[in-house]
Amino acid sequence: MEIIHTPVLLQETLDYLSPVGEPYESDCFMIDSTLGEGGHSEAFLTRYSGLHILGLDADSKIQARARERLAPFGDRMHFHLGWFNEFYATYPDDMPKPDLLLFDLGISVFHYERSGRGFSFRYDEPLDMRLNPSAGDSAEVLVNTANEEDLANIIFQYGEERYSRRIARAIVENRKLSRIVSTKVLADIIYSAVPSPYRHGGIHPATKTFQAIRIKVNGELDRLEMVLATAFKVLKPKGKMGVITFHSLEDRIVKNYFRDLGKSCICPPEQPICNCGGKPRAEVLTRKPVGPTDTEVEDNSPSRSAKLRVVRKL
């Protein structure tokens, strides 16, 4: 089969989440919480012969590709269809606790290039952007029904777009004329709304707005905030949890949560004397986030903004 997506920070992830030595046994259990096309899982199963993996994904179409790719590993690979936050919130009592957890929060290149759901403005596609196309409102619904203030706030908050209000105003004015149903129409509206110098910067002026709409449609940051604690709760003691992020909004959430796991004191900052008797819940294995090498960035440009953070549960 043709592989569309190249997994980022692959060597670094294999090393930091290595199931080698104590406390791991030959039947080490890993959950790949964002399976995608299965690139990370394939590499782990190939390198570590005693490893078993459960792969989670909310998109049945991309999961079917992963099933085909990982079929040679037989019963060492299992699959679950659904959102990762919902899975960990209702973790089955009869399932063993995982030794390793991996989250790769990037959107697969498959979704941009082959899904036909409007994740990219490079192609003229229907405005959908849902990772699970059978659940929730699409980007088209959001763009055509949200009021101007809400649109501006979404674009600013999730896209960190300086011209969010101008873009939101232009969207509202244009949808009065006709419903906005395609990526090309939306990208053209954004392009016309921003100042001329901004149109010729390092990135297309629609990039941040498309990111913001996608994040909102899929509830990406909300799901991330919900899943970190529930996933860490089911992780086996001495097990490791790694998260790969791609923009500052995601990384800030992960960094703060991992930092709090590593604290011995959990008293409020304004409290002058510690009385919580707290102990660190995890050892932070990456004091600074691990980024891609120059070679990886050259070979796989989507890795440019990737950051890996890892903790070990105490």
Confidence of residue 22 (pLDDT cuts 50, 70, 90): low
Q: Is the pLDDT of residue 266 over 90?
A: no
Q: Is the pLDDT of residue 285 over 90?
A: yes
What lies within 8 Å, CB to CB, of 61 at 6+ separation is 115
What is the chain's mean pLDDT, rounded? 93
Asked if the domains 10-111+220-313 and 120-218 are classified in one and the same CATH topology, the answer is no
Q: What strands, in cross-sheet order, belong to the sheet with 282-284?
A: 77-81, 52-57, 29-32, 100-104, 240-245, 307-313, 282-284
Q: Is the pLDDT of residue 268 over 80?
A: no
Are the C-beta atoms of residues 142 and 171 closer than 8 Å to each other?
A: no
Per-residue pLDDT, 125: 96
> Residues 227-233: what's their mean pLDDT?
98
Q: Is the pLDDT of residue 269 over 80?
A: no
Confidence of residue 278 (pLDDT cuts 50, 70, 90): confident
Q: Which of 49, 38, 47 is nearest to 102 (CA)?
A: 38
Per-residue pLDDT, 277: 65
Are the C-beta atoms of residues 291 and 221 closer than 8 Å to each other?
A: no
- What would the CATH number be for the domain defined by 10-111+220-313? 3.40.50.150
- What would the CATH number be for the domain defined by 120-218? 1.10.150.170
The domain segmentation of the chain, as residue ranges, is 10-111+220-313, 120-218
Confidence of residue 272 (pLDDT cuts 50, 70, 90): confident
The answer to which of 24-38, 69-83, 298-312 has the lowest mean pLDDT is: 24-38
Per-residue pLDDT, 121: 92
Q: Is the pLDDT of residue 242 over 80?
A: yes
